[in-house]
Structure 1
Amino acid sequence: MKKESLLIAILIITFQFTQAQTIEKVANGIWKITYGTPEHHLPTEFKNPTAFSGLNKMPAIHVAPVDVKTIHFKQMSKGVLAEMKVDTSERFYGFGLQTNTFDQTGMRREIRTNSWTVGNIGFGHAPMPFYISTKGYGVLVNSSRYVTFYVASKGKLDERVRNKKENQKEQKVVLNTVQLYGKAVTPSNEVSIQVEGTKGIEIYVFAGPEMLQVMQRYNLFSGGGGIPPMWGLGFKYRGKATFTDKQIQETGQYFRNHHIPCDMIGLEPGWQTASYSCSFAWNPKNFPNPSSFIDSMNKNGFKLNLWEHAYTHPTSPIFQKIAPYSANYTVWGGAVPDFISAGGRKVFGDYHENNFVKKGIAAFKLDECDAADYTKADREWSFPDIATFPSGLDGEQMRQLYGLLYQKTMLNLYHKNNIRTMFDVRASHLFAAPYTSALYSDMYSHADFVRMIVNSGFSGVNWSPELRETSNDAELVRRLQTITMSAHMVANCWYLSQPPWLQYNIDKNNNNELLPNYKVLEQKAKKLIELRMSLLPYLYSAFAKYHFDGTPPFRALIIDYPTDKNTWKIDDEYMMGESLLCAPFLDSSSERTVYLPAGNWYDYNTNKKYEGGKEYSISMTLDQIPMFVKDNTLLPLAQPVEYVTPSTVFNISCKVYGNPATAVKLFEDNSSNFNFEKGQYNWLSLSWKGNNGNALRTGNFKQQVYKIIDWKKIAQ
Structure 2
Amino acid sequence: MMRYSFAKALCFFMLFGAKCVVASAPQPNITTVGPGVKIISTGQPDKFTPYSFCNEKPRAAAMGELTNGKLPFELSEIEISVNARGTVVKIPLSDDEQLYGFGLQIGSFNQRGLRKKPIVNDNPLNDLGYTHAPSTFYVSTKGYGILINTSRYTTFYCGTTNELKDDSNQPAKSFGAANSVEDLYQNRKQAAGKVVADIPGAKGIEIFIFEGPDLLTALKRYNLFSGGGALPPMWALGVKYRVKADFNQSQVGVVADYFRKNHIPCDVIGLEPKWQTTAYSCSYVWNEKFFPSPNKFTDTMYRKGFKLNLWEHAFVNSASPLYNQLKGRAGNYLVWNGLVPDFADPLARNLFADYHKKTFVEKGIYGFKMDECDNSNLSYGSATWSFPEHSEFPSGIDGEQMHQVFGLLYQKSIYGIFKDLNKRTLLDVRSSNAFASSYPAAIYTDIYGHKDYIEMIGNSGFSGLIWSPEVRESNSISDLMRRSQTAVLSAQTLYNSWYLQNPPWLQIDKEKNNRGELMNNAKEVENDVRKLLNFRMSLIPYLYNAFSEYYLQGTPPFRALVVDYPDDKAVYNIADEYMIGQDLLAAPLTEKAEERSIYLPKGNWYNFNSNKKYEGGKSYIIKVGYTELPLFVKEGAILPLAKPLEYITPQSQFEITCNLYGTQLRKTTLFEDDGTTFNYQDGNYGILSLEYVKGKGIVKRTDQKRKSLYNIKNWNQIQ
TM-score by length of 2: 0.95
Q: Which moved more, 1:172-181 or 1:425-434?
A: 172-181
| 1:379 Cα deviation from its structure 2 partner | 2.5
Q: Could you say which residue in structure 2 is the equivalent of 1:206?
A: 210
Distance in 1, matches of 2:367 and 2:313, equals 13
Mapped pair 1:56 → 2:64: yes
User: What is the CA distance between 1:77 and its match in structure 2?
Assistant: 2.8
Conserved 8 A contact 2:638-2:666:
no
Instruction: Give the match for residue 118 of structure 2.
Output: 111
Q: From the superposition, tell whether residues 430 and 317 of structure 1 become closer, same or farther in structure 2 (CA, over 3 Å).
A: same
CA distance in 1, matches of 2:416, 2:664: 40
Deviation at 1:473, TM superposition (A): 0.8
Cα separation, partners in 2 of 1:705 and 1:581, compared to 1, 3 Å: same
Aligned equivalent of 1:22? 29
What is aligned with 1:587?
A: 591
Contact 2:21–2:27 (CA under 8 A) maintained in structure 1? no
Among 404, 416, 419, the residue aligned to 1:415: 419
Q: Tell me what 1:4 maps to.
A: none
The residue that corresponds to 1:634 in the other structure is 638
Cα distance change, pair 17–82 in 1 and its aligned pair in 2 (3 A): farther
3-state SS of 1:184 partner: coil
Out of 381, 384, 394, the position equivalent to 1:380 is: 384
Instruction: Supply the AA of the counterpart residue of 2:712.
Output: I
User: Who is 1:344 aligned against?
Assistant: 348
Q: Counterpart of 2:576? A: 572
Give the equivalent residue in structure 2 for 1:292.
296
Q: Distance in 2 between matches of 1:327 and 1:174?
A: 51
Which digits, 9 at most, give the CA deviation of each residue in 1:515-549, with x for residues without a partner?
11111110110000000000000000000000001
1:99-138 deviations in Å (ceiling 9; x for gaps): 0000101111112111111132111000100111111111
Alpha-carbon deviations, 1:66-92, whole Å to 9, x = none?
311221111233210111221111111
Question: 2:76 corresponds to which residue?
Answer: 69
Output the TM-score relative to the length of structure 1: 0.96
**2:207 partner letter:** I
2:88 to 68, 72, 81: 81
Q: How does 1:248-397 map to 2 (within 5 A)?
A: 248-397=252-401
Q: Which amino acid aligns with 2:67?
A: P
For residues 462-541 of structure 1, what are the structure 2 equivalents within 5 Å? 462-541=466-545
Question: Are 2:711 and 1:703 aligned?
Answer: no
Between 1:699-708 and 1:46-55, the stretch displaced more is: 699-708
What is the rounded CA distance, in whole Å, between the counterparts of 1:234 and 1:139 in structure 2?
35
Q: Is the 8 A contact 1:680 1:700 kept in 2?
A: no
Could you report, residue by residue, the CA deviation over 1:27-83 in whole angstroms, capped at 9, with x for unpaired residues? 11111111211012222121111111210111234x544311221111233210111
Identical pairs, percent: 44
Show CA shifts across 1:406-427 (max 9, x none). Answer: 0011011011111110110000
Query: What SS does the corresponding residue of 1:201 show, helix, strand or coil?
Result: strand
Q: Secondary structure at the match of 1:217?
A: helix
Give, in whole Å, the separation in 1 of the partners of 2:68 and 2:596: 42
Tell whether 2:156 aligns with 1:149.
Answer: yes
Per-residue deviation at 1:235? 0.4
Q: CA deviation at 1:158?
A: 4.7
**Residues 1:69 and 1:17: Cα distance change in structure 2 (over 3 Å):** farther
The aligned runs of 1:109-258 (5 Å cut-off) are 109-158=116-165, 162=169, 167=172, 172-258=176-262
**Amino acid in the other structure paired with 2:295:** S
User: Does the CA contact (< 8 Å) of 2:344 and 2:397 recur in 1?
Assistant: no
SS in 2 for 1:118: coil
- Specify the code of the residue in structure 2 equivalent to 1:90: E
Q: What corresponds to 2:8 in structure 1?
A: none
1:19, 1:527 → 2: CA distance?
A: 62
Q: Spell out structure 1 runs of 4+ moving beyond 6 A.
A: none
* Residue in 1 that maps onto 2:14: none
Q: C-alpha separation between the residues in 2 aligned to 1:212 and 1:527? A: 34
Asked whether the 8 Å contact 1:156–1:188 carries over to 2, the reply is no
Q: Is the 8 A contact 1:649 1:706 kept in 2?
A: yes
Distance 2:173 2:235 in 1: 67
- Structure 1 equivalent of residue 446 of structure 2: 442
What are the ranges of 5 or more consecutive residues in structure 2 without an aligned counterpart? 1-10, 12-19
Q: What are the equivalent positions in structure 2 for 1:525-674 lying under 5 Å apart?
A: 525-674=529-678
Q: Give 1:277 shift.
A: 0.3
Letter of the structure 1 residue corresponding to residue 672 of structure 2: E
Counterpart-to-counterpart distance in 1, 2:262 and 2:612: 33
**Letter paired with 1:155:** N
Once the two structures are overlaid, the 10-residue window that deviates more, 701-710 or 495-504, is: 701-710
Change (3 A) 1:354 1:101: same
1:95 to 77, 88, 102: 102
Q: Deviations over 1:183-220 (max 9, x none)?
A: 33342321111112111000011111110001000000
SS for the counterpart of 2:22 is helix
In structure 1, what is the Cα distance between the partners aligned to 2:525 and 2:650? Answer: 31
1:182 positional shift = 2.0
Counterparts in 2 of 1:701 and 1:464: CA distance versus 1, 3 Å: farther
Q: Does 1:690 align with 2:678?
A: no
Give secondary structure in 2 for the equivalent of 1:535.
Answer: helix
- Unaligned 5+ segments in structure 1 are 1-10
SS where residue 539 of structure 1 aligns? helix
Provide Cα deviations, 1:297-349, integer angstroms capped at 9, x if missing partner: 01100000000001000001111111111111111101111122132122211
| Equivalences, count | 700
Report the CA distance shift for 1:233/1:17 in structure 2 as closer, same or farther (over 3 A): farther
Q: Aligned partner of 2:478: which letter?
A: A
CA distance in 2, matches of 1:548, 1:426: 26
SS of residue in 2 equivalent to 1:185:
coil
CA spacing shift, 1:125–1:163, aligned 2, 3 Å: closer
Q: Is 2:391–2:399's contact at 8 Å kept on the other side of the alignment?
A: yes
DSSP-derived class of the 1:522 partner: helix
Cα distance, 1:661 vs structure 2: 4.1
Residue pair 1:107, 1:183 contacting (<8 A) in 2 also? no
- For 2:379 and 2:559, the matched residues in 1 are separated by 31
For the 8 Å contact 2:656–2:711, the answer to whether it is kept is yes
Measure how far apart 1:701 and its partner are: 5.9
Q: Is the 8 A contact 2:154 2:197 kept in 1?
A: yes
1:361 and 1:700 map into 2 onto residues whose CA distance is 33
**SS of alignment partner, residue 615 of structure 1:** strand
Task: State the shift of 1:599 in Å.
Answer: 0.7
1:39-54 matched pairs, under 5 angstroms? 39-47=46-54, 48-54=56-62
Paired AA for residue 448 in structure 1? D
**In the alignment, residue 68 of structure 1 is paired with which amino acid?**
L
User: Is contact 1:65-1:207 (8 Å) kept?
Assistant: no
Alpha-carbon distance in 2 for matches of 1:658, 1:163: 58
Deviation at 1:653, TM superposition (A): 0.5
1:486 and 1:519 map into 2 onto residues whose CA distance is: 25
Q: What's the CA shift for 1:159?
A: 6.0
